[in-house]
């Protein structure tokens, strides 16, 4: 049976143990995050962890201003606003920037925080 851990557990395990974290390491991470009241048993962040800034919620509301969008995804501050367009209430990047960022992701050129931001951004845009 394959165990699927919540995204926060996967991210924390990757941060502490690397991309190839073992199931034992993921289980220990899950238990520690629940015990420290950072996540609920369901894997969602606790209100306390969000309020303390220990976990970031990447919920992207519709019709954010570009400044609000950049607060949510600071990674994109390094790129001209002309690379983004508001489409159906959400900020979309042009194809050339997407290709550049995906290449940087593949080559391991992004910091941990930048990688998480990009992955969260892309997870809403298949």
For residue range 36-78, what is the model confidence (pLDDT) as tens digits? 999 999 999 999 999 998 888 888 999 999 999 999 999 999 9
Q: How far apart are CA 106 and CA 122, in angstroms?
A: 14
What are the pLDDT digits (tens) for 11-41?
899 889 987 899 999 999 999 999 999 999 9
- Structure-token match 């080559």, residue found: 107
pTM over 0.85: no
Helix residue ranges, H only, the chain: 7-17, 23-35, 47-51, 66-72, 95-106, 112-123
Place of tokens 């997407």: 98
């Amino acid at each position: 049976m394959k165990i699927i851990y919540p995204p926060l557990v996967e991210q924390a395990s990757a941060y502490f143990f690397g991309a190839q974290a073992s199931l034992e390491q993921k289980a220990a991470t899950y238990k520690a995050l629940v015990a420290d009241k950072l996540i609920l048993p369901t894997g969602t962040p606790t209100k306390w962890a969000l309020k303390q800034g220990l976990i970031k919620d990447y919920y992207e509301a519709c019709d954010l201003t570009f400044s609000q969008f950049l607060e949510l995804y600071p990674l994109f501050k390094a790129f001209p606003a002309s690379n983004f367009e508001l489409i159906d209430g959400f900020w979309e990047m042009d194809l050339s920037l997407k290709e550049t960022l995906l290449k940087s992701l593949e080559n391991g050129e992004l910091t941990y925080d930048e990688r998480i931001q990009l992955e969260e951004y892309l997870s809403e845009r298949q």
